[in-house]
Amino acid sequence: MNKQEIKQRLKKLYEQLAETDYAYYVLDKPIMSDAARDSLKDEIEKIEAEFPDLILPDSPTRRIGGIKKGFKKIRHEIPKYSLDDVFSYDEVRDFDTKVKRALNLPKDKKIKYTCELKIDG
């Protein structure tokens, strides 16, 4: 693909993800599976990594999904952090490496994690 075709593909992916996110976050009526949505976002991230000059300010990778009206904001006593979408053990290992680097811990230091299934969709 030439750069113009890549730019058009990226625009199409942005539109698809925007439509999907609106249906999911605002209407509370998903129009595709989480796995299908994740694959759209993954493709966007790969293109943006290879062509950072094509990233638009409203890219889905630069914003958080919408929030359905009626929810109240709450502040957690302990901040809640989230591991991004993970589909392999290697990605979990990469997360562990990032945590250790951020905490300035040795690579062989054992860390216990608490995990729970995604229950919000």
Give me the active site residues, please: 118
CB 98 within 8 A of CB 113: no
Q: How far apart (Å, rounded) are the C-alpha atoms in residues 97 and 105?
A: 9
Instruction: Report the Cα–Cα distance between both ends of the chain, in Å, rounded.
Output: 35
